[in-house]
Every structure is written in structure tokens, then in C-alpha cells.
Amino acid sequence: MSKSPVFTQNRELSWLRFNDRVLDEATDETVPLLERLKFVAIFTSNLNEFFMIRVGSLFDLKRMGDSDIDNKTGMTPSRQLKHIYKAVRPLYEKRERILSDLETELRMHGIYRLSWNELEPPETKAASQYFKSSVLPLLSPQIIDSHHPFPYLKNDAVYVMAKLRYDDGRTGAALVPVPEALSGCFFLPGSETRYISHEEIICANLESIFSSCVIEERVMLTITRNGDINPDDEDSEFEGEDFRKRMKKLLKKRIRLMPVRVDLSREISKEGREYLYERLGLTGEQVFVTSAPLNADYMFSLQDHVDANKRQALTYPAFTPRKHPDAAGGEKITEEVMIRDVLLSYPFQSMEPFLQLIKQASCDESCVSIKITIYRLSGKARLVDYLCAAAENGKEVTVLIELRARFDEQNNIDWSERLENAGCTVIYGFENFKVHSKICLITRRSGDGIKYITQIGTGNYNEKTAAQYTDLSLMTYDQSIGRDANEFFKNMAIGNLEGSYDKLLVAPSGLKSRVLACMDREIAKREKGRITLKLNSITDIDIIEKLKQASCAGVKVSMIVRGICCILPGIPGKTENIRIISVVGRFLEHSRVYIFGDRDEEEMYISSADFMTRNTQRRVEVACPVLDPSVRKQIHTVIDACFADDTKARIMLPNGSYAPVTPADAGPAPGTESAVSGFDCQQFLLNLAESEETKGRETEDSRGRLLKSETSGKFRKAPRFAESPPKTHKNVFGRIWDAILDR
């Protein structure tokens, strides 16, 4: 009997394939050189978090009995760990090759990352003086012996480790932590950008620190610890305690969790490795040797140390999110939303209209209350200023803030205290359920009774990431949605997760069941059925199984999945009617859209929820129907642009790997009936936002002038285009602008 073909894959290995896609962006020659370097840093940062959270949680499961079986592949935690470590090692090697190539190119532009041995004599003198005056006074070196036990190594900190030989022949070890105050690099004087890391400087000057010893071996290292804390596992320890105090204690506990990985700057002796294995409780597969910087954060700010002309040539053109054509700067956004639904498309359009909506409500006599859920905020948040002002002006302000937003816990604790001090009612998420929804409700009292303005988004109320992530934010005066939102906040306040809603899909009780019901309706249509999804990740086995059923029934399933994707497309008899692409570009694709049916009879939702089990079953999430035809058209433009991309998009193959999208694979560009070679969806949406800001809703004559302006080359094209695009491209893009702006 032949074995049924597998149509699912492990989530961790799927994620590693996604991060490989991120690293591939560092090889794209259409991306400016310093931006390519940032993709190396993003890859590295992603991998660090992956080891802290995903690998850390697998080690926890392994220690608990190794009996938790992956429902996609049947693998135990220990087997998953074996596959992960095996898959990661080639990624290290790939990163080093790419970084070497990038740094070779950067040197052609006068930008040098240097080792100590590469310094010119005057530079060696300058670095030595800097070490003595600014580094040595900050160091806290420690020898390791019977009186000086092996110290605790902090997560993600960089250390210099040495093997010492004393005058009497004894050997020992020593550690020098690189102080947090010395993060980044030392930039050498001169006209070029030449720099060296602080750990390199310390490593080269160990003799000045341990002057009575011979340094027999030296290495730089960093350790990654399990960072997967779960406050809901700590009930016995913190029972009856205020949740904010509990989170503060747990954050202190996180830093002492078990190590899961060590990075070494060079190969060390067998004796040195065995010493680390014993002291840190590691195995050989958990130790990686890399020539890449142990801390890559400096790559994000390296451009600040390059002169203006080079910076302009080696980075993306400066970008500012554009004003929404209907909302302008947000001065009259309240009135505008009461007339028609307003959709903001981040980062191409500014978050300002939403912020102004809250600011106006804070001092509007008609406003009775503002209620909002918060998951992540930026370090500086005008939203908090306006919520505090509203409370101080006598409005009822309720903020449901999730203190367990991973790695933003302390930030959210700080914001919750400020909001509370201003008079806001602050509540937290539920035991075992994080509140991940993005919903805001403004309640107004008018001549004809109580009215609601509701905002629902796919991304956080974070003013920084709103200029970096692609997200959708809908502001609506639809009263049926407003009544649901009001009911939602009532349920959150009384701890009811089983609420009933007319329009909104709310997890954990109702979102998944209604999504599956929508899919069933499409399955009933068979070949006429259509399902279109834009997600960050999909792991939920019930939804995956339903998508397989849809494919088997002949339903055309089109998916844009940026990251983890546990369903494999194109498997005969299983998923041959499923097509999946992933887009990785300048901005992080982050919006979630569900579309069931064809355009004439479709149901469309925007949502905070991916189709991951944690979102559908263990979080509070909200999906909102898009009822306004004009807004649906705008969202279709975003979706169509992604499927038309043959520059930043990749198509998933049946084995889970990715391949470039060819023009033959790409869908028609928005507003056209044909594909456009070299189409970059993010650049297209950026150009479109610029055009809409300038032109707004124009007459046919104005659109004609826009077409003429575009075809004369005044619009910036995606990097793939030549300086003078072929005439056919100009004409196609002219038709695109004309069609999109003709609403």
C-alpha cells in the first residue's frame, strides 16, 4: 500500500526557510548596499529570537518527557531539535559568505570593518589610547579558579574568554564581559569609515589586563539563553499577586534560564570546548563558530557614520508615510469617518489620521469614552499622551494592555503605570490567553442617541513600526460594528471569552469556527469557490485540513504567507489547487486579510490574527468585516499587487522551498489584465500613495495629466527597472495609475 503524500511541514523548519529568504535579500543587487547589510543584521536578530523562544521551548518540552508530538510531522521535541541544529549550521556558513562579499564591496566605498591586525600603525596607536582611556576603566575582568567560580553569563552579552598560564606553570581561565556601555564599534579617525568592535579591542589587549600571565588562547563568545517565560505556569508562586508585579518578577527570572546556544568567534582547542560544555551544560551541536560579528546591531546605524553623498548612494531614498487623500493631515478626520469608512495602508500612508482621531476625541464634548486594546507601543507614544489627556478631560478611558507581549513586557509595564496615574482604567489580559487584538472604540453622545466610531487594525498602535510594517487600519462609523465593539469591551472587562457577536469574529471562541464555516461555503461551490488569504503564518491543523479539503473540491486557494507555512502547495490529490507566495522586501509584510468568495459575492475581513493555533485558540483576536465597497477595492489593490510581484515575491514549491516568481507565474498588475515584468508590490504601493496624496480624487482630466506625468518618467520606479524603462512598461504603469485612482 503506497504511503499518502505529506502535505504539511514542521513549523520550526518552515520558519528557518523564511529566515533564509530574509538573508537572500542581502544578495539582491537591486537593494542598496548598506540596506543589504541590514538584512544580515535582521537575519541575525531573527535567529537569536528563534533560539531564545522556539528552541528554548523545545528544550523545556524535552525535559518534561519528550512526549509532545508535532501534529504536522509526528516529530518529538528532541527530534525537532536535531533537525533544527542540522538546518542552522548551513545558514551560518551562508551568512558568512554573504557578509564577506558585502564587506568586500563596502571597502570599495571606503567602509571597513577591521580586525586588530588590519589596523595601520597610527590606527593601532589611536585604538590603544582609546582602550587605556575609555575601555579599560569600565572593564570587570574575572579569573576562574577554586576561589572565583565560573560566573553567570548574561543572555546575548558578549564576552572575551582566555586561557592563562601563570609564572609557576599553572593554567587557568578568565572572562572579560564587554560592558553594555561599550556596545557598537570604535570608529577610527580619518576620511574613510574604518571601525573595529570593542570586543576585538579588548581581545587584542588582554595582556594589559592580565599582565602577570601568558595568554595561551583567546576567543570572543556570546550565549543565547531560553527566553520562553510563561506567567501562566507560575500560578503557585505568585497566586493572589497583582499581575504587573508578577511580570516584573518573571522578567528577572528570564535572564537566568538555561543556555541553548553559544557562538564563538574562532575555533578553540578541544580542551577549551570541553570546558565550555561542562560549565554551561551544552553539547557540541549547540556551539557555533562564526567569523560574523557577535553583535550585529551596529549594522542598523552604520549609515550614520558615512558621509552624506555615500549615504545617499548606499541606502534607500528617504521615505515619509504619505497623507491619506480623504483624511489629509487628520484635521477633520472625525467628520470624515462619520461620512465614509477610511482605510489607512501602512507604511505607505501615515498613522496620523488615527492619532488625530484620538486627540480630537480627547477634547470633544460629544465623546463619552475611549476604549482600546494595546499589545505593543513605541518608546515614545503620542497615543498614550492623547489617552491620558482624554482621562484628564473627564472622558472614561479604558485600556486593556497586554503585559506579556514578548520582549515588550517592561515597556508595557511602564506605559500601564503612566496611564493609570493619569486616571485611565487599566486592565490586563486573561490567564492563559494573551489579548492580541487591535481595536479601539470611541463612544459619542449625539442628538439621535449613542453612536460609535470603531477602529480595527492588523498591526500594533506603534508609531515606529507603522512606518516599517505593512498593515491596514480601518476607521468606521458602521453602528453594527460599533455595537459589537462595545459588547467586546464589556466582555473583556468582566472576563467573558465566550461572547456572541454579529459582525466581528472574535477568538478564542468564535473566529476559527466562523472561518471554517466560510471555507465550507466555498467548498460547496466546488470549482467556483475562491479563498484568498494574506497572513504572516499558518500552523493551525484544523484550518490546514480544511484548506486541503477545499483544494480537493476544486476551490482555487491563493495565499500570501510571509513566514511560517505548515501547509505545502501543489501536492497531487491534496493541495494541487493551492498557490502560496511569500513577499520579503524593504517593509515587513504584516497585514492579515481573509477573503471568501469572488468579488461580486465575497466576504472580506481584516484581522489581528494569523492562522496559528496560538492565535485561533489561545489569544483574544478580532477580525472585522470590510463592508464598504471602496475600501474593499483598496484592499484588493494591495492583494493584487502582492500576487503581481515578480521582484520580491517567491513561490512556495511542494517540498517547502521557495523559487523566484517568473512573469509567467505572476498575476496581473492592479488595474490591468496582464503581468508586468520587474513588478515590486511595495514600490508600487509607495508610488501609489505618493500619487494619491498629490492628486486625491481627481477628475478625468486630472488623471490624464497624472498619466502624462508618469509616462514622462517623473515617478520613481522599482529598482529592477532600468533608468529608462521600456515603453511598454511605461504604458502599462500609466494604465495602472489610471485604473487605481478611478474610484
Residues serving a catalytic function are 436
β-pairing, 530-535 vs 396-401, is unpaired
Q: Which three cell numbers stand for residue 556?
A: 482555487
Helix H or strand E segment including 548: helix 541-552
Q: Phi-psi region for residue 462, left (φ > 0), alpha (ψ -120 to 50) or beta? A: beta
Q: How is 79-114 classified by DSSP, letter by letter?
A: HHHHHHHHHHHHHHHHHHHHHHHHHHHHHHTTEEE-
Helix H or strand E segment including 595: strand 592-596
Rounded to an integer, what distance in angstroms lies between the CA atom of residue 637 and that of residue 489? Answer: 32
β-pairing, 578-583 vs 396-401, is unpaired
Rounded to an integer, what distance in angstroms lies between the CA atom of residue 204 and that of residue 152? Answer: 24
Rounded to an integer, what distance in angstroms lies between the CA atom of residue 317 and that of residue 357? Answer: 30
Cis before 347 (ω within 30): yes
In 3D, which of 250, 243, 248 has the Cα closest to residue 426? 243
**Who's near 487: CB < 8 A, 6+ residues apart?**
499, 500, 501
Sign of CA dihedral 259, 261, 266, 270: positive
**Who's near 460: CB < 8 A, 6+ residues apart?**
374, 375, 376, 377, 438, 466
**Who's near 187: CB < 8 A, 6+ residues apart?**
193, 194, 195, 305
Decide if 150 contacts 144 (C-beta within 8 A): yes
Q: Which three cell numbers stand for residue 297?
A: 546591531
Q: Which residues pair with 136 in a beta bridge?
A: none
Rounded to an integer, what distance in angstroms lies between the CA atom of residue 729 and that of residue 710? Answer: 11
Q: How many residues can be counted in the chain?
A: 743
In whole angstroms, how large is the CA radius of gyration of the chain?
Answer: 28
Write down the H helix ranges in 589-726: 613-617, 629-644, 681-695, 700-711
Residue type, 399: V
Rounded to an integer, what distance in angstroms lies between the CA atom of residue 352 and that of residue 601? Answer: 33
Q: Which three cell numbers stand for residue 126?
A: 589611536
Which CA distances in Å does 417 have to 385, 410, 424, 428?
13, 11, 10, 12
Q: Which three cell numbers stand for residue 517?
A: 464555516
Rounded to an integer, what distance in angstroms lies between the CA atom of residue 169 and that of residue 142? Answer: 19
Q: Which residues pair with 289 in a beta bridge?
A: 264
- Residue ranges with strand state E in 4-80: none
Describe the crossing of helices 56-63 and 77-108 by its angle, rounded to 10 degrees.
Answer: 160
Rounded to an integer, what distance in angstroms lies between the CA atom of residue 679 and that of residue 157? Answer: 42
**195 φ/ψ angles, rounded to the nearest 5 degrees:** -145, 160
In 3D, which of 408, 422, 419 has the Cα closest to residue 375? 408
